[in-house]
Amino acid sequence: MTAEWLNPLRDAGDRRLPRIAGPSGLVIFGVTGDLSRKKLMPAVYDLANRGLLPPGFSLVGFARRDWEDEDFAQIVHDAVRDHARTEFREEVWQQLAEGMRFIPGDFGDDEAFERLRKAVEELDGSRGTGGNFAFYLSVPPKMFPKVVKQLKKHGLASPPEGSWRRAVIEKPFGHDLTSARELNAVLHDVFDPEQVFRIDHYLGKETVQNILALRFANQMYEPIWNRSYVDHVQITMAEDIGIGGRAGYYDGIGSARDVIQNHLLQLLALTAMEEPAAFDAGSLLTEKLKALRAVRLPEDLGPHSVRGQYAAGWQGGEQVVGYLEEDGIDPSSTTDTYAAVKLGIDNRRWAGVPFYLRTGKRLGRRVTEIAVVLQRAPHSPFDSTATEELGQNAIVIRVQPDEGMTVRFGSKVPGTSMEIRDVTMDFAYGESFTESSPEAYERLILDVLLGDANLFPRHQEVEESWKILDPIEEYWAGHGRPAQYASGSWGPEEADEMLARDGRSWRRP
Ligand code: BG6
């Protein structure tokens, strides 16, 4: 092995860094894409800069470009300069850059895959990668089968004795249950289930991992985390952005397939599941699956689900166009940019407690949160006017952007009368911790290299989630156009009516 440990941040005595990847390399297919430039390349650099990658770590790009290794290294360099979280250190960069290789080629090109195989062997020799490689498929899903088959054909999918090979795939994991099953069949024909890492970047977020810490490392929440105390749960993922330049991906997919099938149902599973027997991938899968399998759709989706599409409006002081006027969108498109649905969970803990999920683009502001709203106190000894303004107690996990948690409860207003009003108690990551959170992709790439599958949905969860979403999509497809909502608003009126029918209202985070 030629490279030596640099580990600048680790040497600085940082005690948070016990998990360091062993000898390994990462091959990225689709390396010219946005995700690769904005997330993957910077994450690799940040990991190296934090001392979490081995000194001989190697990065191989594969794409249809006429580049040399140096051109690729320059692209990575620019991406790191623009998007990395940690400061730029020349010596870290140099060490990383020495392990960069570029393979020009098409996914159907056998010679290119032979060159890839040789590059991997060469890196094992020159950088000490030990035969351990992860293949990151940052490519459109329709390309998955082709790439995966080529990996098999060229002997890249099976690890040499004593080493590992892993495949990393990005959503969408199909567009319904049938296609998800087909995709899984293709993957599992080449890789064992343990070799496949599906990225749901929400699981890489600190605040999402904290749901489990909050619930299972404390004594105060679990006793009330059930139908005896909880009135309902609201899971919101609101974005202020529109679809940007992603018309090709988004149209025909829509908000529910884009984020409910994966991110929101994962948040639901983590919020609703039972305590796992251990904090390992198998135990987490068992409990998440049980929760997802217990999800029940309303008998009539009509009054309990809404899909919407943003119309023109004002956002951040600027006038923005509606979805149908966006570049690349079919003006008669019925794709949803907003979706809300009421789900039940049929088990002893949650029977009768609705879980309301909603997501949308071009909403009032960017916020993701899980609000566990408690029932009202069964009785108040105070004059009813004293408690008039009192809302229900709530525990709100603020996933982003203002990471932390809020507990809402009633408190006496200072003064001579017994007036009670809502107050909040806040925990903010930025105030309680000096440690900075790694970006979700940093955490997830490191976990892939470590072979730690805790934060990766398994194919059973993916299929279970499609079983929940497919009937909803089917219902919508047969019931007219999505409701319109003004950009910058909080979604269609129909969504407010949906909750009002249940005597509840959406939070305005
Ligand atoms: C992605 C969706 O999975 O998540 C995008 O495809 C969405 O449409 C994005 O914008 C949001 O991610 P984050 O981390 O900014 O909440």
What CATH number should be reported for the domain holding residue 94?
Answer: 3.40.50.720
- Determine whether the shortest distance from the Cβ of 259 to ligand 1 is under 6 A: yes
Residue 163 and residue 212 in one domain: no
Residue 44 and residue 138 in one domain: yes
Rounded to whole angstroms, the Cα distance separating 374 from 395 reads 8
Task: Determine, yes or no, domain membership for 296.
Answer: yes
Of the residues 170, 191, 218, the one at which a domain ends: 170
Residue 239 assigned to a binding site: yes
How far apart are the CA of 410 and the centre of ligand 1, in A?
A: 35
Task: Determine, yes or no, domain membership for 328.
Answer: yes
Beta bridge partners of 380: none
Task: Determine, yes or no, domain membership for 12.
Answer: no
Rounded to whole angstroms, the Cα distance separating 470 from 368 reads 24
- Determine whether the shortest distance from the Cβ of 112 to ligand 1 is under 6 A: no
Domain containing residue 267: CATH number: 3.30.360.10
Q: Which amino acid belongs to residue 59?
A: L
Rounded to whole angstroms, the Cα distance separating 67 from 429 reads 42
Task: Determine, yes or no, domain membership for 119.
Answer: yes
How far apart are the CA of 239 and the centre of ligand 1, in A?
A: 8
Residue 216 assigned to a binding site: no
Nearest-CA neighbor of 449 among 105, 93, 25, 10? 25
How far apart are the CA of 99 and the centre of ligand 1, in A?
A: 31
Judge whether 373 and 231 are in contact, CB under 8 Å.
yes
- Determine whether the shortest distance from the Cβ of 267 to ligand 1 is under 6 A: no
- Give the residue whose CA is nearest to atom 13 of ligand 1: 202
How far apart are the CA of 131 and the centre of ligand 1, in A?
A: 33
Q: Which amino acid belongs to residue 377?
A: A
Listed in sequence order, the residues at least 6 apart from 78 whose beta carbon sits closer than 8 Å to its beta carbon are none
Of the residues 123, 152, 170, the one at which a domain ends: 170
Listed in sequence order, the residues at least 6 apart from 144 whose beta carbon sits closer than 8 Å to its beta carbon are 137, 169, 183, 186, 187
Residue 321 and residue 389 in one domain: yes
Question: Quick one: which atom of ligand 1 is closest to the CA of 440?
Answer: 14
- Determine whether the shortest distance from the Cβ of 287 to ligand 1 is under 6 A: no
- Give the residue whose CA is nearest to atom 4 of ligand 1: 259
Residue 196 tokens, joined = 């496949």
| Helix, strand, coil in percent for the chain, rounding step 5 | 40, 20, 40
- Give the residue whose CA is nearest to atom 6 of ligand 1: 258
Question: Quick one: which atom of ligand 1 is closest to the CA of 241?
Answer: 10
- Give the residue whose CA is nearest to atom 15 of ligand 1: 239
Question: Quick one: which atom of ligand 1 is closest to the CA of 205?
Answer: 14
Task: Determine, yes or no, domain membership for 19.
Answer: no
Supply the pLDDT for residue 17.
Answer: 46
Most ligand 1 atoms within 8 A of CB, residue of 208, 237, 239, 441 to mutate: 239
Residue 423 and residue 340 in one domain: yes
Residue 188 assigned to a binding site: no
Residue 142 and residue 233 in one domain: no
Supply the pLDDT for residue 387.
Answer: 75
Residue 118 assigned to a binding site: no
Residue 473 and residue 417 in one domain: yes
Question: Quick one: which atom of ligand 1 is closest to the CA of 366?
Answer: 16
Residue 403 assigned to a binding site: no
Indicate the number of domains in the chain: 2
Would you write out the chain's pLDDT as a tens digit for each of its 509 residues? Answer: 456 666 555 544 555 546 899 999 999 999 999 999 999 999 999 999 999 999 999 999 999 999 999 999 999 999 999 999 999 999 999 999 999 999 999 999 999 999 999 999 999 999 999 999 999 999 988 899 999 999 999 999 999 999 999 999 998 899 999 999 999 999 999 999 999 999 999 999 999 999 999 999 999 999 999 999 999 999 999 999 999 889 999 999 999 999 999 999 999 999 999 999 999 999 999 999 999 999 999 999 999 999 999 999 998 889 999 999 999 999 999 999 999 999 999 999 999 999 999 999 999 999 999 999 999 999 888 887 777 778 999 999 999 999 999 999 999 999 998 889 999 999 999 899 988 788 999 999 999 999 999 999 999 999 999 999 999 999 999 999 999 999 999 999 999 999 999 999 999 88
Provide the CB-side half-sphere exposure for 254 (13 A, CA).
26
- Determine whether the shortest distance from the Cβ of 461 to ligand 1 is under 6 A: no
Listed in sequence order, the residues at least 6 apart from 432 whose beta carbon sits closer than 8 Å to its beta carbon are none
Residue 479 assigned to a binding site: no
Of the residues 170, 186, 221, the one at which a domain ends: 170
Residue 258 assigned to a binding site: yes
Task: Determine, yes or no, domain membership for 276.
Answer: yes
Q: Which residues span the domain enclosing 403?
A: 203-501
Residue 70 assigned to a binding site: no
Task: Determine, yes or no, domain membership for 366.
Answer: yes
Whether 263 sits among the annotated catalytic residues: the reply is yes
- Determine whether the shortest distance from the Cβ of 46 to ligand 1 is under 6 A: no
How far apart are the CA of 363 and the centre of ligand 1, in A?
A: 14
- Determine whether the shortest distance from the Cβ of 256 to ligand 1 is under 6 A: no
- Determine whether the shortest distance from the Cβ of 439 to ligand 1 is under 6 A: no
Residue 159 and residue 228 in one domain: no
How far apart are the CA of 361 and the centre of ligand 1, in A?
A: 10
Judge whether 429 and 404 are in contact, CB under 8 Å.
yes
- Residue by residue, DSSP assigns 447-509 as HHHHT--TTS--HHHHHHHHHHHHHHHHHHHTS-PPEEEEETBSS-HHHHHHHHTTT------
How far apart are the CA of 266 and the centre of ligand 1, in A?
A: 14
- Determine whether the shortest distance from the Cβ of 357 to ligand 1 is under 6 A: no
Per the residue annotation, which of 83, 175, 188, 263 is the catalytic one?
263
Supply the pLDDT for residue 2.
Answer: 53
Task: Determine, yes or no, domain membership for 191.
Answer: no
Residue 243 and residue 365 in one domain: yes
Residue 368 and residue 459 in one domain: yes
- Determine whether the shortest distance from the Cβ of 239 to ligand 1 is under 6 A: yes
- Determine whether the shortest distance from the Cβ of 403 to ligand 1 is under 6 A: no
Judge whether 208 and 400 are in contact, CB under 8 Å.
no
Residue 91 and residue 228 in one domain: no
- Determine whether the shortest distance from the Cβ of 336 to ligand 1 is under 6 A: no
Residue 223 and residue 306 in one domain: yes
Residue 242 and residue 349 in one domain: yes
